[in-house]
Chains A and B, each alone.
Chain A
């Protein structure tokens, strides 16, 4: 069972890629990218997990208690912020693609011109 979180992360990554490859809608494509990125949260948090550890917040637990790694949790926060900015950018580009091509199907983007 100790491998299960990693297996879920690998599965999320590949399923998200499947969504991106078969996507017929730019908004759907942006959402699929967030699925790919959520696999990285799972890997980061899984590597830092300590069995029976509590959250690394010493507000109401004894200072000597075992807690999980705060570094990977901070990295996950960074990851989430980056993901939200990327999603915003992709959605803005989708709006402009709709204006320019009149379609949000990625296969229409082959008519891309300068």
Chain B
């Protein structure tokens, strides 16, 4: 179909879809008039039941932990798929010295600034991960900040150094260990409280770092997995940039 024909088909159907969407959304309670009850119930009992002050994290890592387990494996599977799709094809090899040319392109100022960020980002990422049950944050957000901590090494133009800070073997290990850690915590619930993913640890005092029982452990497991998974995906994309194809051979 020509681009013009496609657009002619799309415009009337988009108008109809927009009409249906607006009509359907009109039936929802107005903005700010939340009908409940789940949010109100959780806000009422969340802190006293789980001793976690950040109820979003409590929902993700405790009340709806089973759903988050599925979400975590979506991330795990997708990372595996990216690694699989971007594997070296036949006829591809790494361009000799490609990593070194990038190193020369970065200015000294950029390199200094980026390297100054590394430690700060890793500390911030760790902070966000372990305080997930208390203040805004948690394993997913902190994991991405942790991954960014290693990624600025690349922004500084040091591809080789990034591989040394975050070698692929370590990233794969982190990705897998984080995913397995979450499952093991769930099995811990099965053993000590008879229910999979049940919060079986001492809940501690609300507002202190060790409050929330298993929530903080799940947060750390997910933080490790997310950091590993994101860095693994980024490393795979970076590897593509230094690949060259020898002519003729078309892969499979």
Q: Which of B13-29 contact A (CB under 8 A)?
A: 14, 17-18, 21-22, 25-26, 28-29
- Interface class of chain A by DSSP: helix
Q: Which of A75-96 contact B (CB under 8 A)?
A: 77-78, 80-82, 85-86, 88-89, 91-93, 95-96
Establish whether residues A69 and B39, one from each chain, have CB atoms under 8 Å apart when the complex forms. yes
Closest residue of chain B to A72 (Cβ to Cβ) is: B39
**A contacts with B, residue count (CB < 8 A):** 56
Q: Which residues of A contact B39 (CB under 8 A)?
A: 48, 50, 56, 67-72
* Chain A 35-54 near chain B by CB (<8 Å), digits 1 or 0: 00000000100111111010
A23 to B26, CA, bound (A): 31
Establish whether residues A3 and B82, one from each chain, have CB atoms under 8 Å apart when the complex forms. no
Establish whether residues B10 and A18, one from each chain, have CB atoms under 8 Å apart when the complex forms. yes
Taking a contact as CB atoms closer than 8 A, the residue among A14, A51, A78 that contacts B71 in the complex is: A78
Closest residue of chain A to B14 (Cβ to Cβ) is: A14
A4 at the interface (CB under 8 A from B): yes
Establish whether residues B71 and A82, one from each chain, have CB atoms under 8 Å apart when the complex forms. yes
A81 to B47, CA, bound (A): 26
| Known A2-B33, A70-B42, A70-B43: A57·B82 in contact at CB below 8 Å | no
Q: Which residues of A contact B237 (CB under 8 A)?
A: 91-92, 95
Establish whether residues A93 and B53, one from each chain, have CB atoms under 8 Å apart when the complex forms. no
A108 at the interface (CB under 8 A from B): no
| Known A68-B34, A74-B59: A6·B25 in contact at CB below 8 Å | yes
**B contacts with A, residue count (CB < 8 A):** 59
A109 at the interface (CB under 8 A from B): no
Q: Which residues of B contact A13 (CB under 8 A)?
A: 17, 21
Q: Which residues of A contact B56 (CB under 8 A)?
A: 56-57, 70, 73-74, 77
Q: Which of A1-46 contact B (CB under 8 A)?
A: 1-7, 9-11, 13-14, 17-18, 21-22, 43, 46
Establish whether residues A5 and B46, one from each chain, have CB atoms under 8 Å apart when the complex forms. no
A102 to B86, CA, bound (A): 16
Establish whether residues B74 and A89, one from each chain, have CB atoms under 8 Å apart when the complex forms. no
A56 to B54, CA, bound (A): 7
Establish whether residues B17 and A14, one from each chain, have CB atoms under 8 Å apart when the complex forms. yes
Can you show 6 pairs from A to B with CB atoms below 8 A apart?
A3-B25, A58-B53, A70-B55, A82-B74, A95-B85, A99-B251
